[in-house]
Amino acid sequence: MQSSQKDFEADMKSDSEITILTNSVKSITGHWSDGDPFVDAVEIKDVLGWEIKPEGLCKDDACIPINHEQNIKHNERYNLRAVAHLTGHPTLSSQELKAITIGQPADLRSSALRDKIAPDFVLPDIEGVDRAFSDWAGKKRLLVAFSSW
């Protein structure tokens, strides 16, 4: 049992595929350390829209300073969970499953509640064609969800 645990821990420190669930599903190469996924800087920009610069995390004209105590960088990679939290995204990660789910930013969620406007999302219809919720703006909509569990 102990050697199995050591193999698991060694595997997590080496490069592996990390599945990222956002509005879409993406698999990238990274590594795990202490239960957190670490990815290259270019992946941070691709997944979250924030760029790593000497000033910190930047998007358009806004920058969030990063200090060394935040444990964001490890072996030239960045802690995706910590960066997501700094930018207002909730996360749920599983080192065992090698996956992380990243939710919509807090300001988007709070504005949807305040303005009483449902956030836009895309789902396939019964024929497999992707349809956005906003496609039917101004019309009555019924969303039926089914789960086997």
* Residue 129 pLDDT: 92
Q: Please check the confidence at residue 124 and state whether its pLDDT lies above 90.
A: no
Which amino acid, one-letter code, is at 48?
L
Structure tokens at 44: 């941070």
Give the pLDDT band of residue 13 (cuts 50, 70, 90): low
- In total, how many domains does the chain have? 1
pTM above 0.75, yes or no: no
Domain that holds residue 88: 2-115
- How does the average pLDDT of the chain come out, rounded? 85
Average pLDDT, integer, range 80-93: 93
- Strand ranges in the chain using DSSP code E only, listed in sequence order: 16-21, 25-33, 36-39, 51-53, 56-59, 62-64, 73-74, 77-79, 91-94, 99-102, 122-124, 130-132
